[in-house]
Amino acid sequence: MSLLSPSLHSEIQHHAALDARMVRVARGIKLLTMASWPSGLEVQFLDDYARGTAQLPIIEYPKYDFSEARRELEAVAAEADPDHPLGEYLIESAHSWGVAAQLLESLGSTAVTGYSVQLFGKPDAALPGQGPSTREAANHFISIANELDRELMSPAETVEISATALSLQLQRDLDDYFDARVIEVVLDPDLIAKAAAGATRIRLRSGAAFSDYDRHQLLQHEAFVHSLTALNGREQPVLPSLALSSPRTTATQEGLATFAEQITGSIDIGRMKRLSLRIDAVAMALDGADFIQVFRYFIDAGQTPADSFASAQRVFRGVPTTGGSAFTKDAVYLRGLVGVHTFFRWALRQQKLHLCRWLFAGKMTLGDVQRFEPLFDSGVLAPPRWMPPWITRANGLAGMLAFSLFANRIRLDQMAEGDFSEIG
Q: What is the pTM of this model?
A: 0.88
* Per-residue model confidence (pLDDT) at position 422: 46
pLDDT tens digits, 125-146: 888 777 789 999 899 989 888 8
pLDDT(119) > 90: yes
Residues in the chain: 424
Query: At residue 41, what is the residue type?
Result: L
* Per-residue model confidence (pLDDT) at position 1: 40
pLDDT tens digits, 306-331: 999 999 999 999 999 999 999 999 99
**Stretch 262-289: mean pLDDT:** 92
Angle between helices 250-263 and 332-349 (to 10 degrees): 70
The answer to which of 139-153, 198-212, 323-337 has the lowest mean pLDDT is 139-153
> What are the DSSP E strand ranges found in 53-208?
161-162, 184-188, 195-197, 201-205
The sign of the torsion formed by the CA atoms of 196, 90, 330, 71 equals positive
pLDDT(406) > 70: no
